Amino acid sequence: MNLIALLCREIAQNKVTSQRHLAVALDVSLGKMNQLVKTAQERGLVSYAQGAYSLTKAGLLYLEQFRVDNAIILAAGFGSRFVPMSYNNPKGLTEVMGTPMIERQILQLHERGIYDIIIVVGYLKEKFEYLIDKYGVRLVFNPEYQMKNNHVSLYCVREYLKRSYILVSDNWMQDNIFNTWEPNSWIACIYEEGDTSEWVVSADNRQRIRRIGIGGRDSWVIAGPSFFDAESAQLLAQLTEQHYSLPGTDDHFWEHILKDNLGTLRVYINRQRSDNLFEFERLEELRGFDERYQLDSGNPALREIAEVFGVYEDEITGIKPLKDGMTNYSFAFEVKGRGYVFRLPGRDAERLIDRYREKAAYGQVAHLGITDEIVSLNAASGTKISRYYPDTHILDWHDERELDEALRLVRMVHGSGCETGHDFDIAAMISQYRALADEASAIRFGDFDVVSHRMSALLDFKKRLAAPRALCHGDFIHANVLIFPDGSGKLIDWEYSGMGDPLIDVAMFAIFALMGRLEAEALLARYLDRAPHEAERARLYLYMALGGYLWSIWAELKQAGGQEFGAYPLQMYRYAKDYYYVLAVEGFLGKEVQAGAASLSTGTTGSFTAVSAATAAAARKLARGA
């Protein structure tokens, strides 16, 4: 560690009248400081006159080699632990004591003469745009922020790494910890007493970090801000580029790169007071710091909960994120010691789902006792408050007992005699989603027109089918079945429910679970409790094809709005194509289309899941359940 440079910086930035002041600032003994001051004076860097130390011209020139070039602020993530605040605003833009956290960092950087500031954005990126005009920052978009962790954000700005601060947008520093000059690479740490699951550092007697581990006790833990000198920054850029290409690193933080390369990256610990450097991971932590959040956070979800239960916002506790669905966001909370779930519709959900129909379906099946317990369902906004079941888990469809329970539940729905005034009309849904997708230029499949023509043929085929009619869940997938410790289950999320062919639910379960043909047919037999008839298999294949087509359009539409679903749209699209061919080669659609099945033997079915291969093999053999 360059203590001479630190001594010069302290003198340059503050009025220093004693060596004791310098010893405290640099965290060294008074004897050590006496030696450092003597060395600095001998080198002509420091002078002492009229009871105070000052830098000479040589000292100022010496410091200039350590001037900070820029600051990089990572702000692309969603901030899942900060729900529900992060649903409406990026976490870094949350106001603390009247100022957004990221703006406070920018202002503190400006105080030290650092104006070249690059912000990596992703989630709700448009919210940061005003910072360009207000502070002259640069924005860099991370296109993979939904799929990978923040090491990719650093990868996106690796070319800007010089003598750079690397910061995260959701830190709050009471006192300014930045400097005009930084002679050493460091990462800020705070001391945590007791057990911790944070990133723990160990340093040698020269304060160089030698080890980083996850979890410990009575330890110094990584708190966010860091700085890298020119040599270390260049090496970090190279390591970041290498790390980006490694398999199995999607969930890595950029600190993983630091952790794995401490032998070559010379980084020191920068000890900070825990009452100066904050990272508000949850709203309840922020409430304890900024009292404005105790009674009225300004968040619509919390205001609704407070109104429904007749409480103040500070009585809403235990807030934690739940795994987001493909349509909605959800978080758990407690009021008066009892747990609940708040569901917030995702973007554009109101264009895709009729919540009044959902509310009607919940009312129809309430007497069956198989749904989540509803406290409030606002059909106008789509928000829902329901009972939280902490000891449940999502159905594991590979577990035969759990699968049988799920099928029992859906059979109960189908046989209940319940009726709603609306249908699960897959043709109407396809038409609606297709119109919205066309409007947004969302569809990116190269052969979409050809596949759409084939789906039209399947819809005509559907009209000729004789099928029973019953209330269907519509979104009967394993993620919507909760299993209790005693093996019983509940069906949640009825937003797609309506009257239709019961085998629609079986088909939806099969494609969401990415089942192959033989698995899907086994599921059908399990649902029927007997071997399926030929017409029943045809209906299963039909809804698997049409369901795949519907949900591929839905996913493309959602992606056009900024969400990312990875391979999901491709997987669904394959179901549309593959099961059209299965129907064709089985003879259900007529001999004139059977020629299309030849492509199944050419390897054109793709490799996104095992679905295509299983289907192709079955179709080529004209398998009938074998």
Q: What is the pLDDT of residues 139-180, one digit of tens each?
A: 999 998 888 889 999 999 999 999 999 999 999 999 999 999
pLDDT (0 to 100) of residue 562: 72
| Beta carbons within 8 Å of 293's beta carbon, 6+ residues apart | 283, 286, 287, 313
Q: What pLDDT does 327 receive? A: 64
User: CA-CA distance, 517 to 600, in Å (whole number)?
Assistant: 14
CA 194 to chain centre: 29
Measured between alpha carbons, how far is 14 from 180 in angstroms, rounded to an integer? 12
- Among 34-38, 359-363, 408-412, the range of highest mean pLDDT: 408-412
Q: Are the CB atoms for 313 and 306 separated by under 8 Å?
A: yes
**CA–CA gap between residue 451 and residue 575 (Å, rounded):** 11
Band (pLDDT 50/70/90 cuts) for residue 17 is confident
- Band (pLDDT 50/70/90 cuts) for residue 356 is confident
Does the domain at 299-388 match CATH 3.50.50.60? Answer given as no
- DSSP H helices, 251-339, are 254-260, 283-289, 292-295, 300-309
**Rounded to 5 degrees, what are φ and ψ at 166?**
-115, 115
CA–CA separation, 24 and 19 (whole Å): 9
Q: What is the pLDDT of residue 148?
A: 87
At 90-123, the pLDDT tens digits run: 999 999 999 999 999 999 999 999 999 999 999 8
**pLDDT tens column, 294-308:** 888 889 999 999 999
**Phi and psi at residue 444, in whole multiples of 5°?**
-120, 10
- Using CB atoms within 10 Å of the CB of residue 433, give its burial: 0 to 12 exposed, 13 to 18 middle, 19+ buried: buried
- pTM of the predicted structure, to 2 decimals: 0.80
Q: Long-range contacts: 398-407, Cβ < 8 Å, 24+?
A: 401/487, 402/481, 402/483, 402/487, 402/489, 403/523, 403/526, 404/526, 405/481, 405/483, 405/487, 405/488, 405/489, 406/476, 406/478, 406/481, 406/489, 406/509, 407/526, 407/527
Mean pLDDT of 327-355: 83
pLDDT of residue 612: 42
Cα distance between residue 137 and residue 119, in whole Å = 7
Enter the DSSP assignment of 372: P
Model confidence at 261, pLDDT cuts 50, 70, 90, reads very high
What is residue 296's predicted lDDT score, i.e. its pLDDT?
86
Summarize pLDDT for 451-499 with one digit per residue, the tens. Answer: 999 999 999 999 888 899 999 999 999 999 999 999 999 999 999 999 9
Give yes or no for a contact between 249 and 225, defined as CB atoms under 8 angstroms apart: no
Tell me the one-letter amino acid at 181: W
Residue 585's pLDDT is 86
State the average pLDDT over residues 2-23. 90
Pairing of strands 70-75, 164-168: parallel
- State the Cα–Cα distance between residues 567 and 554, nearest whole angstrom: 13
Above pLDDT 90, what percent of the chain? 71
Q: What CATH class does 70-279 carry?
A: alpha beta
pLDDT cut 70: percent of the chain above it: 92
- Is residue 591 predicted with pLDDT exceeding 50? no
Q: Compute CA distances 196 → 97, 190, 268, 282, 616, whole Å.
A: 28, 12, 21, 16, 52
Helix or strand run (H / E) with residue 343: strand 338-345
Look at residue 350 in the predicted model and tell me its pLDDT. 63
pLDDT tens digits, one per residue of 484-495: 999 999 999 999
| pLDDT at res. 146 | 82
At 572, list the tokens.
Answer: 């669904």
Dist. CA 206–CA 572, nearest whole Å: 57
User: What confidence score (pLDDT) does residue 533 get?
Assistant: 93
**Stretch among 19-33, 70-84, 107-121, 584-598 having the lowest mean pLDDT:** 584-598
> Strand 209-228 vs strand 164-168: parallel, antiparallel, or unpaired?
antiparallel
Please give the pLDDT value at position 348.
Answer: 61
Q: So what's the pLDDT on residue 114?
A: 97
Pairwise CA distance, residues 616 & 623, whole Å? 10
Q: Is the pLDDT of residue 344 over 50?
A: yes
What are the DSSP E strand ranges found in 404-509? 470-472, 481-483, 489-491, 498-500
Q: Does domain 396-620 fall into CATH 3.20.20.150? A: no
User: What span, in angstroms and rounded, lies between the C-alpha atoms of 104 and 400?
Assistant: 55
pLDDT digits (tens, 9 = 90+) for 40-88: 999 999 999 888 999 999 999 999 999 999 999 999 998 888 888 888 8
State the residue for tokens 């040589």.
58
Indicate whether 238 pLDDT > 50: yes
Spans of all domains in the chain: 3-64, 70-279, 299-388, 396-620
Asked if pLDDT for residue 620 goes beyond 50, the answer is: no
3-state secondary structure 29-77: CHHHHHHHHHHHHHCCCEEEECCEEEECHHHHHHHHCCECCEEEEEECC
Instruction: Find the helix or strand (DSSP H, E) in which 105 lies.
Output: helix 101-111
> What is the maximum span of the chain, computed from C-alpha positions, in angstroms?
104
Model confidence at 359: pLDDT above 60? yes
Report the mean per-residue pLDDT for the chain. 89
Supply 423's token pair. 């249908």
pLDDT of residue 589 exceeding 80, the answer is no
User: What b-and-e string marks burial along 72-88, b requiring 16 or more CB atoms within 10 Å of the CB?
Assistant: bbbbbbbbbbbbbbbbe
Q: What pLDDT is stored for residue 590 in this prediction?
A: 61
Cα angle, residue 577 at apex, residues 576 and 581 outer, rounded to 5°? 115
Domain 3-64 indexed as CATH 1.10.10.10: yes
Strands (E), 380-473: 384-387, 393-394, 470-472
Fill in the amino acid letter for 215. G
* pLDDT score for 539: 95
Q: For 201-217, what is the mean pLDDT? A: 92
pLDDT of residue 607: 30
